[in-house]
Structure 1
Amino acid sequence: MSTGREHAGGTAPGPGRVPLGRGSAWTTRLAFGAAGIGNLYRSVTDAEADGALAAAWDGGVRSFDTAPHYGLGLSERRLGAFLRDRPRDAYTVSTKVGRLLVPDPGARGDDLAHGFAVPATYRRVWDFGADGIVRSLEASLERLGLDRVDIVYLHDPDDHAHQALREAYPALERLRAEGVVGAIGVGMNQTAVPTRFVTETDIDVVLLAGRYTLLDRSGLDELLPAALRRGVSVVVGGVFNSGLLADPRPGSPYDYAAPPPETLWRAVRLREICERHGVPLRAVAARFPLGHPAVAGVLIGLRSAAEAEDAVGLLGREIPAALWEELRREGHLSDDVPVPGRERGR
Structure 2
Amino acid sequence: MKRTILPGVGREVTHLCVGTSPLGSAMPLVYGEAVDDASARATINAVLDSSIRFLDTSNAYGEAERRIGEVLKLRGLPEDFVVATKADPLGKDFSGARVRASHAESTARLGLEMLDLFYLHDPERFSFADLTAKGGAVDALVELKRDGLVRGIGVAGGDLDAMRRYVDLGVFDVVLNHNRYTLLDRTAEPLINETVDAGAAFINAAPYASGFLAKTFGATYQYGAPSEDVVRRVQRLRALCDDYGVSLPALALRFSTRDPRISSTVIGVSRPERIAELAANDAAEIPDAIWSAVEDALSLQASLATSEAWPKPQRG
TM-score, normalised to structure 2, is 0.86
* Residue 24 (structure 1) aligned with residue 15 (structure 2): no
Kept in 1: contact 2:86–2:119 (CA 8 A)? yes
Query: CA distance change for structure 1 residues 199 and 327 in 2, over 3 Å: closer, same or farther?
Result: same
Aligned position for 1:90: 80
Query: CA distance change for structure 1 residues 191 and 26 in 2, over 3 Å: closer, same or farther?
Result: farther
* Residue 129 (structure 1) aligned with residue 95 (structure 2): yes
Where do 5+ consecutive residues of structure 1 fail to align?
1-14, 101-124, 334-346
Deviation at 1:139, TM superposition (A): 1.0
Kept in 2: contact 1:148–1:180 (CA 8 A)? yes
User: In structure 2, how many angstroms separate the alpha carbons of the residues matched to 1:315 and 1:164?
Assistant: 38
User: In structure 2, how many angstroms separate the alpha carbons of the residues matched to 1:99 and 1:285?
Assistant: 32
Kept in 2: contact 1:68–1:95 (CA 8 A)? yes
Deviation at 1:88, TM superposition (A): 4.7
Aligned position for 2:292: 325
Aligned-partner SS, 2:278: helix
Question: Which deviates more from structure 2 when the two are superposed, residues 135-144 or residues 288-297?
Answer: 288-297
Aligned position for 2:314: none
User: In structure 2, how many angstroms separate the alpha carbons of the residues matched to 1:206 and 1:332?
Assistant: 29
- Which of 175, 192, 212 aligns to 1:206? It is 175
Aligned position for 2:51: 60
Deviation at 1:215, TM superposition (A): 0.8
The one-letter amino acid paired with 2:177 is: L
User: In structure 1, how many angstroms separate the alpha carbons of the residues matched to 2:209 and 2:224?
Assistant: 10
Cα deviation digits, residues 231-270 of structure 1 (max 9, x gap)? 2111111111112111355x54212222111111011111
Give matches, 1:2-17, under 5 Å.
16-17=2-3
The one-letter amino acid paired with 2:186 is: R
Aligned position for 2:21: 35
Deviation at 1:275, TM superposition (A): 2.1
Deviation at 1:151, TM superposition (A): 0.7
User: In structure 2, how many angstroms separate the alpha carbons of the residues matched to 1:211 and 1:129?
Assistant: 28
Aligned-partner SS, 2:220: coil
* Residue 258 (structure 1) aligned with residue 248 (structure 2): no
Question: Which deviates more from structure 2 when the two are superposed, residues 134-143 or residues 173-182?
Answer: 173-182
Kept in 1: contact 2:55–2:84 (CA 8 A)? yes
Percent of aligned pairs with the same amino acid: 32
Cα deviation digits, residues 15-48 of structure 1 (max 9, x gap)? 8431222222332111111111111304322221
Query: CA distance change for structure 1 residues 241 and 256 in 2, over 3 Å: closer, same or farther?
Result: same
Cα deviation digits, residues 199-247 of structure 1 (max 9, x gap)? 2222111111100001111001x20110121121111111111121113
Cα deviation digits, residues 127-158 of structure 1 (max 9, x gap)? 32111111110111111111011111111111
* Residue 99 (structure 1) aligned with residue 65 (structure 2): no
Aligned position for 1:241: 209
Number of residue equivalences: 291
Aligned-partner SS, 2:125: coil
Question: Which deviates more from structure 2 when the two are superposed, residues 268-277 or residues 322-331?
Answer: 322-331
Deviation at 1:272, TM superposition (A): 1.2
User: In structure 1, how many angstroms separate the alpha carbons of the residues matched to 2:13 and 2:137?
Assistant: 23
- Which of 146, 169, 172 aligns to 2:141? It is 172
Kept in 2: contact 1:149–1:182 (CA 8 A)? yes
User: In structure 2, how many angstroms separate the alpha carbons of the residues matched to 1:289 and 1:38?
Assistant: 25
User: In structure 1, how many angstroms separate the alpha carbons of the residues matched to 2:111 and 2:174?
Assistant: 24
Kept in 1: contact 2:170–2:198 (CA 8 A)? no
Where do 5+ consecutive residues of structure 2 fail to align?
301-316
TM-score, normalised to structure 1, is 0.79
User: In structure 2, how many angstroms separate the alpha carbons of the residues matched to 1:49 and 1:225?
Assistant: 36
* Residue 140 (structure 1) aligned with residue 131 (structure 2): no
Deviation at 1:49, TM superposition (A): 1.1
Query: CA distance change for structure 1 residues 329 and 16 in 2, over 3 Å: closer, same or farther?
Result: closer
User: In structure 2, how many angstroms separate the alpha carbons of the residues matched to 1:239 and 1:16?
Assistant: 18
- Which of 267, 281, 285 aligns to 1:300? It is 267
- Which of 193, 196, 203 aligns to 1:225? It is 193
Deviation at 1:302, TM superposition (A): 0.9
User: In structure 2, how many angstroms separate the alpha carbons of the residues matched to 1:87 and 1:38?
Assistant: 20
Give matches, 1:330-345, under 5 Å.
330-331=297-298
Aligned-partner SS, 1:259: coil
Kept in 2: contact 1:248–1:271 (CA 8 A)? no
Query: CA distance change for structure 1 residues 87 and 67 in 2, over 3 Å: closer, same or farther?
Result: closer
Kept in 2: contact 1:227–1:294 (CA 8 A)? no
- Which of 65, 68, 84 aligns to 1:76? It is 65
